[in-house]
Amino acid sequence: MLSNNSKFNLVQVKGTWVRQTERCQSAQGKLSDAKIYENKSDHGVCWTVVSPIVFTYRVIQSKNILDPKNDTLLWGHVGEEEEELKGTINNSKPVKRFVVIDETVNQLYGSQLIQYFESREVVYRMLPLPTTEENKCLELVTKILEEIHQFGIDRRSEPIIAIGGGVCLDVVGLAASLYRRRTPYIKVPTTLLSYVDASVGAKTGVNFAGGKNKLGSYVPPVATFLDRSFFQTLPPRQISNGMAEMLKMALMKHHGLFELLEAEGRKLLLSKLQSCESDSGVELEDSATASTRIAIETMLEELAPNLWEDDLDRLVDFGHLISPELEMTVLPTLLHGEAVNIDMSFMVYVAHQRGLLTADEKYRIIQCMLGLELPVWHQECTLPLVQKSLNERLKHSAGSLRMPLPTGLGRAEIFHDMIGDNVLCQAYQKWTAELASSGNK
């Protein structure tokens, strides 16, 4: 049997792409990162195309994003290298934006948004939707697509804007990834959970066939605009909910963030992570600014190299092994962050049982969780549910469990071995004995 392998680079010469082997570089021109591998056999040719796709997106903090003097909402996605484009767009035609906004957020901030657009002479269409977990399905996506189509947008220069919590951002993201195969979109998170989590990565999605986020895509927004002033209208429970994801990052990889949440957690809750203006004029980073910044930075570090989640070893999955099952079992009584926290609390006991955490470290973590007003135990989180979740997880993780566990305060490792039933049972018994009466749900 004959076999003949070749690797080709692609070079653009006078508008045409031509294949070139590394040895024979006859034509000069723009070199693509893509490669074509050719394998000839008796049966014919097999071409393998390797085409790296680069996603670039910006995550931008901004204060008072709905102030008409603030450019961010309209132009924050345009980088310095594209400033020219902004000028051209500005001069030749009116600025046009399609906005999907969570219904509650619309009640609270809709008039400010209208004022913003009117004062800047933007041609706009606002679509308020009940973007709740129960409604997070394809129908909502279709509704958005129909409205976008009717309004008409220029796919290249008029990004769709999503303003709301994680549900709104996920649903609009999916619609944008479908419209004309991929239309740029912008995320403006208004809950703490979506600010530190859903905003930072590339995932979009809706629930389907009884499964959470079963349909979706990995398409990042062109930009995310972060403005903490939206948190002022959030109920305290929603703040605690978001804090759980911040604590996750602290436990996995940032000792400083853990100490901040441990010492200042309550204060952060009460202030809804708002910064107080310093009268000294000296810009010192306060705990609200520092904690949210670190949460985002650590999250970006973990997501950027693994945007499509090809690597299954993910520290960001801490708290997400048992919680999906628990969330679906008790819907809608637990919020996502609360379920995540119950999962993390149990895993802290597992880590202690395996000798990875000292008793004092375990104690400090649980106290920190309680300080953030997060539940640390739940009666529906039974040992059979834990075992079922871990087995489910095993099925979908290429043969080994890949369990992130803390190995200190702000340090973690991913363990590939299945934990023995002994360790699991002992950890579960201690967890229940010590925390069942914690006063939380």
Ligand X SMILES: NC(=O)c1ccc[n+]([C@@H]2O[C@H](COP(=O)([O-])OP(=O)(O)OC[C@H]3O[C@@H](n4cnc5c(N)ncnc54)[C@H](O)[C@@H]3O)[C@@H](O)[C@H]2O)c1
Site string for ligand X, 67-106 (x = CB under 6 A): -----------------------------------x-xx-
Phi, psi of 60 (to 5 degrees): -120, 125
157 binds ligand X (CB under 6 A): no
By CB under 6 A, tell whether 343 contacts ligand X. no
Q: How many CA atoms lie within 13 A of 351 on its CB side?
A: 32
**From the list 106, 194, 298, 389, which residue makes contact with ligand X (rule: CB under 6 A)?**
194
Does residue 240 belong to the site contacting ligand X (CB under 6 A)? no
> Which of 225, 150, 143, 151 lies closest to 185, judged by CA?
225
DSSP β-bridge partners for residue 45: 40
* Nearest distance, CB of residue 152 and ligand X, angstroms: 27
Nearer to ligand X, 104 or 289 (CB): 104
Question: Could you give phi then psi for residue 102, rounded to 5 degrees?
Answer: -60, 140
- Smallest separation, CB 148 to ligand X (Å): 20
Nearest CB to ligand X, comparing residues 141 and 424: 141
For ligand X, the closer of residues 104 and 271 by Cβ is 104
Count the residues of the shown chain that bind ligand X, applying the rule CB under 6 A: 29
Strands laid side by side in the 58-61 sheet: 58-61, 223-226, 185-189, 160-164, 96-102, 123-129
> Residue type at 152?
G
> Looking at 41-49, 63-71, 234-242, 267-275, which segment touches ligand X (CB under 6 A)?
234-242
Which of 89, 148, 198, 340 is close enough to bind ligand X by CB under 6 A?
198
Residue 55's SS3 state is: coil
Which of 18, 6, 9 has its CA nearest to residue 46?
6
- Mapped onto helix, strand or coil, the DSSP state of residue 271 is coil
Range 342-345 contact pairs with CB under 8 angstroms and sequence separation of 24 or more = 342/375, 342/376, 342/377, 342/378, 342/381, 343/319, 343/381, 344/244, 344/247, 344/248, 344/251, 344/318, 344/319, 344/369, 345/369, 345/376, 345/377, 345/431, 345/435
Nearest to ligand X of 326, 409 (CB atom)? 326
The residue among 219 and 435 lying less far from ligand X, judged by its C-beta, is 219
Residue 194 vs 292, nearer CB to ligand X? 194
Tally Cβ neighbours within 10 Å of residue 366. 20
- Tell me 270's DSSP state: H
Q: Is 193 in the site for ligand X (CB under 6 A)?
A: yes
Partner residues linked to 164 by β-bridges: 189
203 is catalytic: yes
Say which of 187, 203, 253, 272 is annotated catalytic. 203
Q: Which is nearer to ligand X, 78 or 144 (by Cβ)?
A: 144
Q: How far is the CB of 370 from ligand X (least distance, A)?
A: 21
By CB under 6 A, is residue 108 in contact with ligand X?
yes
CB-based burial label for 1 (10 Å; 0-12, 13-18, 19+): exposed
Encoded one letter per residue, x for contact with ligand X by CB under 6 A and - for no contact, window 203-232 reads x---------x----------------x--
CB of 37 to ligand X, least distance (A): 34
- Which residues ranging from 244 to 303 are in contact with ligand X (CB under 6 A)? none
Distances from the Cα of 278 to the Cαs of 235, 281, 284, in angstroms? 26, 6, 8
Q: How far is the CB of 239 from ligand X (least distance, A)?
A: 10
Among the listed residues 20, 217, 233, 329, the single contact to ligand X using CB under 6 A: 233
CA distance 191 to 198: 10
Give the binding site for ligand X (CB under 6 A): 102, 104-105, 108, 131-133, 136, 164-168, 170, 190-191, 193-194, 197-198, 201, 203, 213, 230, 233-234, 238, 241, 336
Positions annotated as catalytic residues are: 203
